[in-house]
Amino acid sequence: MSKKIYLSSPHLSDEGYEMEYIKEAFVTNWIAPLGNNVNQFETELATKVGAKAAAALSSGTGAIHLALKAAGVGDGDVVFCPTLTFSATANPIIYQNATPVFIDSDYKTWNICPKALEKAFEKYPNVKAVIIVHLYGLSADMDIILEICRKHNVVVIEDAAESLGTHYKGKHTGTFSEYGIFSFNGNKIITTSGGGMLVSDNEERISKVRFWSTQSRDKARHYQHSELGFNYRMSNIVAGIGRGQLKVLDDRVEKKKYIFEFYKRELSKFEGIEFMPINEWNEPNYWLTCITLSGNVKPLDIMEALEKENIESRPIWKPMHMQPFFSEYDYVGGDVSQKLFENGVCLPSDTKMTEEDLSRVVEIIKSLF
């Protein structure tokens, strides 16, 4: 069997930074929640993205959940959510007993469509919060979206799980609104094996999130609770991996961009292949290189041909309004997200890929045309 090529797998630093921080935690016996790595990882990530404060949590999903709670989302509230995303964006809306309304994408950004968003506001003027996703590391068009949201006085939460390292007009995604979240799951651009971060310029809200994430323990000698609590805090070991990974984030972005440009150079001449949109205001992290197909070669043809050669690829996210679990909820928009799902492929974008690996992928795809 030929060498396996992954879509996107963990890539630890060559320097062994992660192990150094883990060792520090062991030596000081701070492997339990909290400790120096957690505090430092929060500060270092907040500095990197340009946010005032950050709370390190056990997952990106947990971060979205507590962002919704911090935003005051509760029983029966309506929350707008892009339909083209991973289910982890939408599930926490249900955890809070709120109601998601799914919104279509546009072709220009692959992210939430401003026109559909405006239509949704007409239909649901009392919406409580809007989640914006920066899909595959492509930023949403924040100026337009925020202008619409500001008119309606809603809290905006940015799901930047896939876009650590992505900038919009020079500013880091996840820092345009009240709350931003990042994920360090195994396939993300950097990973802690699993974990997440909630960032905000509102330090009071961030300390509240830390409080909720450690079981809402009131200041008292005995165990005293006046609020519902969660066990969502990041451990000091995991935070150590994160600190090491953060040091190589810029290298990872550079390699992801190289991968995108390699595919683009080799494949864009083929009739019917179109690359994900890179807008002039966007500096993506190129987490995954995605294409859409409009000719005789279908996504399944590419995915099957690659699979035969032990190479991983994936369809574009299946929209939430097409998912059995979410089918009862309302959807505003047309068929853009559905078309992206039906015609799209995520190409292997693993930062450990060599020149030879990239050529292997490209040759297999070329042979289909």
- Indicate the length of the chain as a whole number: 369
Give the whole-angstrom CA distance, residue 16 versus residue 37.
16
Catalytic residue among 188, 255, 256, 257: 188
Minimum distance from residue 285 beta carbon to ligand PLP (Å): 12
Minimum distance from residue 65 beta carbon to ligand PLP (Å): 9
Give the distance, in angstroms, between the CA of residue 180 and the centroid of all CA atoms in the same chain. Answer: 10
How many alpha carbons fall within 13 Å on the CB side of residue 240? 23
| Helix residue ranges per DSSP H, 28-72 | 36-49, 60-70
Minimum distance from residue 296 beta carbon to ligand PLP (Å): 31
Pick 273 or 320: Cβ nearer ligand PLP: 320
Give the distance, in angstroms, between the CA of residue 124 and the centroid of all CA atoms in the same chain. Answer: 26
Minimum distance from residue 103 beta carbon to ligand PLP (Å): 14
Pick 288 or 297: Cβ nearer ligand PLP: 288
- Residue nearest ligand PLP by beta-carbon distance: 60
- Tokens read off for 213: 């994430």
DSSP letter at 274?
E
Pick 272 or 277: Cβ nearer ligand PLP: 277
* 188 catalytic per annotation: yes
Q: Residue 187 in 3-state DSSP?
A: coil
With the C-alpha atoms ordered 318, 322, 326, 331, is the resulting torsion angle positive or negative? positive
Minimum distance from residue 312 beta carbon to ligand PLP (Å): 16
Beta carbons of 159 and 90 less than 8 angstroms apart:
no
Pick 235 or 360: Cβ nearer ligand PLP: 235
Which helix (H) or strand (E) is 155 found in, with range? strand 155-159
Q: Which residues bind ligand PLP (CB under 6 A)?
A: 59-61, 85-86, 88-89, 133, 159, 161-162, 183, 185, 196
Pick 5 or 238: Cβ nearer ligand PLP: 238
**Which residues are identified as catalytic?**
188
